[in-house]
Amino acid sequence: MSGARTILPADYHTHTRLCKHAAGEPLDYVRAARRRGLPGIAVTDHGPTPLEYDGRHRMEMDEFPDYLRGVETARQEDPSVLLGIEADYFEGCESFMEGWLAAHPFDLVLGSIHYLEPPPREKNELRHLWDFGAIRAAWKRYFELVGRMADSGLYDVVAHLDMLKRNGSRPLDSDLRDWALPALDRIARAGMAIEVNSSGLRHAVREVYPSPQLLRWAREREIPIVFGSDAHEPEQVGFKFDLAAQQARECGYTQALLFKRRIGSPVSIDGSTPTGRPLASSGSRI
Ligand code: ZN
Ligand code: FE
Ligand code: FE
Ligand code: ZN
């Protein structure tokens, strides 16, 4: 991390050992956030899904109470820790998600699309999203799913918007315009935010999710942002947030949202007011 006076945003995307491909307890991530001087952190591990949907990369349904206990333990040290979840969107998930998300006191629900296919009923052998990055039809399908996720009204924030590019395959500008703009319009209409996710800087693409072009289009539509490192180990908390915040500012953003009980309120990310203090209590989901 660079200069001590750099204004860093809260980290709203972190995992735990429960998802089977990350390390550490919520408390480890919370302590890492404090060491970095971040103004806040949300624990957002991969939530359980029915139909054994991608069970290899998420907590089991009967592990969810362990997750809640882990966040509670972290809160004993820092009461500001947000209880979040990274919830998948896939075709047919709506009735489960609606009931399950409403049944728990989440502060923040990230909506993520990790797969293009609907869930198989048996053991899943789903291909990761980013394995399709060079295929035009995959980008089209992906942004259609993003639009449906927005229309569902079930999620607060679209996570890692253009993660198909993870392996370095980017879409044509004209395709992005044709497919991403309608998705962004639906995100705006739903009152959702999007995540500026710095994990792309660790991946082959070496670029924040979403790209500057997408972020500018989001800004034009007044879609709010949050920041996430997608940390899968405590050392990754706040990963390159100075660069991510700089990119957001270059795309015209001066504010990010702070969440509590699924309500977002804007805070400055450009140093004009102290980070962590709401500029206005909007009381709305924007
Ligand atoms: Zn993960
Ligand atoms: Fe994800
Ligand atoms: Fe994640
Ligand atoms: Zn993720």
Read off the pLDDT of residues 18-74 as tens digits, 9 standing for 90 and up. 999 999 999 999 999 999 999 999 999 999 997 778 888 999 999 999 999 999 999
Q: Could you tell me the distance, in angstroms and rounded to a whole number, from the CA of residue 57 to the centre of ligand 1?
A: 7
* Token output for 227: 């920041």
CA of 14 to the centre of ligand 3 (A): 6
Q: pTM to 2 decimals?
A: 0.92
Please, which residues bridge with residue 268 across strands? 255
Rounded to the nearest whole angstrom, what is the distance from the C-alpha of residue 95 to the centroid of ligand 4? 22
Give distance in angstroms: CA of 230 to centre of ligand 4.
5
User: Could you tell me which residues come within 8 angstroms of residue 92 by beta carbon, excluding any fewer than 6 positions away?
Assistant: 118, 119
CB 228 within 8 A of CB 8: no
Residue 272 Cα to ligand 3 midpoint, Å, equals: 30
> What pLDDT was estimated at residue 196?
98
Token look-up 């253009």 returns 162
Q: Taking the CA atoms of the chain, what radius of gyration do you get in angstroms?
A: 17
Interacting residues of 257 by C-beta distance below 8 A, sequence separation 6+: 193, 224, 225, 226, 264, 265, 266, 267
Q: What is the Å distance from ligand 3's center to 45 Cα?
A: 7
Ligand nearest to the CA of 114: 2
Q: Are strands 42-43 and 157-158 parallel, antiparallel or unpaired?
A: unpaired
Q: Are the beta carbons of 97 and 82 closer than 8 angstroms? A: no
> Which pair of tokens denotes residue 223?
């879609």
CA torsion through residues 152, 278, 72, 31, sign: positive
**Which helix (H) or strand (E) element contains residue 26?**
helix 26-36
Please identify every stretch of the chain with a pLDDT value under 70, giving residue numbers as ranges. Answer: 1-6, 120-125, 271-286
How far is ligand 1, taken at its centre, from the CA of residue 161, in Å?
A: 15
Question: Separation of 44 CA from ligand 2 center, angstroms?
Answer: 10
Distance from the alpha carbon of residue 45 to the mean position of ligand 1, in angstroms: 8
| Terminal-residue alpha carbon distance, the chain | 30
Kindly state the tokens that stand for 257: 């949202």
CA–centroid distance, 177 to ligand 3, in Å, is 26
- CB-based burial of residue 246 (10 Å sphere; 0-12 exposed, 13-18 middle, 19+ buried)? middle
Q: How many CB atoms lie within 10 A of CB 79?
A: 7
What is the pLDDT, as a whole number, of residue 272? 57
Of the listed ligands, the closest to the CA of 22 is: 1
- Cis check: omega of the bond before 210, within 30 degrees of 0: yes
Which ligand sits nearest to residue 57's alpha carbon?
Answer: 1
What is the per-residue pLDDT for 6? 62
